[in-house]
């Protein structure tokens, strides 16, 4: 008799050798710890999550109302083409709907781009300390990853992208270049001149993916407006999400804007119902909720100052960030600090998996949440970290 144990299981495990090589070697992406998991594991209450760069104001009120209304039709399949959502995105940005591809969060669009353009024998370029999904998406296809060293810690944009080095790393085998702008987890960005020079340097048959998940938070005057560049750079793909400033992370909706020919390729590998009806309705409403976006940006700007100045006063190194999070160098291995904060009911993000073992990424919260985090760090500084 065969079953889950014994010889049957041992024999069954042979199928693992048949899996694609890139998939066999993947280490799954580990998201920020959920609040329920923290409460289960540590027996704490009154928990605070500052780990996943979510909007502390919550969802757009208009988006939440649209989601509740759309939930009345849960028995029906969503519009597989997301016609209304694509039309709303196109109108908002002043582009042709044929240039829009929707995704289950912008994360899915990064994976779709890898699936559409990469295969064994090809390569993708991305920077050290950039979003972890780039590496996972590339590895799963069997393509080669060309990881470009980040700027040094003492530079104007510590640990950020080196635009000239990214351009120089492109080889004849390169099919994709991923540029996070702003970059997660460093909070750095390429300015208008740097990003334009990078696009100028890259051959037009290489797709340049500019990941702008945090773009709406940026207030820097030299941050590039990439949409007008699409006419000059048909190889440019701009990725955006509704998970950050719009506060719809639970619903998973994102989009890419590109040349229609690129969008057509992405739609060939995109699953037909990848964005559900509730997410589509909420995203359409959230996109029009300019008041929520403006308020979120204001709260974030104040919170960035509060966290940056507060952590620096406690002796941590915190470079400037243009996102809704800070990268904090604790000056020692950060994992014990992370665990000590967990015991106080606060979740932040350790960055050992990014190659930054002394660093924590901390999401900007509401003023009282930021104050609680700072008070907890101060208590740890005054005591001992187990």
| Cα distance between residue 165 and residue 237, in whole Å | 20
| Cα distance between residue 87 and residue 98, in whole Å | 9
List, in order, residues 6 or more apart from 385 with CB less than 8 Å away: 336, 337, 340
Longest dimension (CA), the chain: 70
Question: Could you tell me the fold of the domain covering 61-288?
Answer: 3.40.640
Beta strands in the chain (DSSP E): 48-49, 100-103, 123-127, 144-148, 174-180, 207-211, 236-241, 254-258, 325-329, 346-347, 349-350, 359-363
Nearest to residue 62, comparing CAs of 88, 82, 80?
Answer: 88
| Cα distance between residue 302 and residue 296, in whole Å | 10
Give how far Cα 351 sits from Cα of 46, 184, 217, 326, 354, Å: 24, 11, 22, 12, 5
| Cα distance between residue 67 and residue 47, in whole Å | 26
Nearest to residue 211, comparing CAs of 234, 233, 189?
Answer: 189
pLDDT digits (tens, 9 = 90+) for 329-341: 999 999 999 999 9
**Pairing outcome for strands 346-347 and 325-329:** unpaired
Every domain of the chain and the residues it spans: 28-57+291-382, 61-288
Question: Which residues partner with 208 through β-bridges?
Answer: 177, 236
Q: What pLDDT shows up at residue 341?
A: 95
Q: What is the pTM of this model?
A: 0.90
List, in order, residues 6 or more apart from 60 with CB less than 8 Å away: 246, 247, 248, 282, 285, 286, 289, 292, 293
Q: What pLDDT shows up at residue 2?
A: 44
Q: What pLDDT shows up at residue 386?
A: 46
- CATH code given to domain 28-57+291-382: 3.90.1150.10
| Cα distance between residue 77 and residue 99, in whole Å | 24
> Per residue of the chain (386 residues), what is the pLDDT tens digit?
444 444 444 455 776 666 676 676 666 656 666 667 766 777 777 889 999 999 999 999 999 999 999 999 999 999 999 999 999 999 999 999 999 999 999 999 999 999 999 999 999 999 999 999 999 999 999 999 999 999 998 888 999 999 999 999 999 999 999 999 999 999 999 999 999 999 999 999 999 999 999 999 999 999 999 999 999 999 999 999 999 999 999 999 999 999 999 999 999 999 989 999 999 999 999 999 999 999 999 999 999 999 999 999 999 999 999 999 999 999 999 999 999 999 999 999 999 989 999 999 999 999 999 999 999 999 998 885 54
- Are 96 and 229 in contact by the 8 Å Cβ rule? The answer is no
Asked if residue 182 has a cis previous peptide bond (ω within 30° of 0), the answer is yes
- Output DSSP code: residue 317: B
3-state SS string for 36-58: HHHHHHHCCCCCEECCCCCCCCC
CB atoms within 10 A of CB 165: 16
User: % helix / strand / coil in the chain, to the nearest 5?
Assistant: 45, 15, 40
């Amino acid at each position: 008799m065969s079953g889950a144990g014994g010889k049957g299981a041992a024999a069954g495990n042979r199928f693992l050798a048949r899996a694609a090589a890139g998939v066999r070697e993947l280490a799954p992406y580990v998201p920020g710890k959920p609040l329920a998991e923290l409460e289960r594991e540590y027996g704490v209450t009154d928990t605070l999550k500052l780990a996943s760069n979510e909007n502390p104001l919550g969802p757009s009120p208009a988006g939440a109302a649209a989601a509740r209304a759309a939930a009345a039709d849960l028995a029906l399949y969503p519009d597989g083409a997301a016609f209304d959502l694509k039309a709303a995105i196109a109108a908002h940005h002043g582009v042709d709907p044929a240039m829009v591809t929707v995704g289950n969060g912008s994360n899915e669009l990064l994976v779709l781009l890898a699936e559409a353009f990469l295969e064994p024998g090809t390569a993708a370029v991305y920077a050290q300390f950039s979003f972890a999904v780039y590496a996972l998406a590339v590895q799963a296809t069997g393509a080669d990853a060309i990881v470009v060293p980040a700027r040094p810690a003492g530079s104007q944009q510590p640990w950020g992208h080196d635009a000239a080095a990214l351009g120089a790393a492109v080889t004849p085998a390169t099919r994709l270049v991923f540029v996070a702008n702003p970059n997660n987890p460093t909070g750095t960005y390429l300015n208008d001149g740097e990003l334009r020079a990078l696009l100028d340097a890259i051959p037009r048959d290489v797709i340049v993916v500019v990941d702008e998940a945090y773009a709406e938070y940026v207030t820097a005057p030299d941050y590039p407006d990439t949409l007008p560049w699409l006419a000059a750079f048909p190889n440019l793909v701009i990725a955006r999400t509704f998970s950050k400033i719009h506060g719809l992370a639970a619903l998973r909706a994102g989009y890419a804007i590109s040349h229609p020919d690129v969008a057509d390729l992405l739609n060939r590998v995109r699953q037909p119902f990848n964005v559900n009806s509730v997410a589509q309705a909420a995203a359409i409403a959230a996109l029009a909720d300019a008041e929520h976006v403006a308020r979120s940006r204001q709260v974030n700007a104040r919170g960035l100052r509060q966290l940056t100045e507060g952590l620096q006063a406690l002796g941590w190194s915190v470079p400037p960030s243009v996102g809704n999070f800070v990268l904090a160098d604790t000056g020692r291995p950060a994992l014990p600090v992370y665990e000590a904060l967990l015991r106080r009911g606060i979740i932040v993000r350790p960055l050992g998996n990014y190659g930054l073992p002394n660093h924590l990424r901390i999401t900007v919260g509401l003023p009282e949440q930021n104050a609680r985090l700072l008070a907890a760090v101060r208590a740890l500084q005054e005591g001992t970290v187990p």
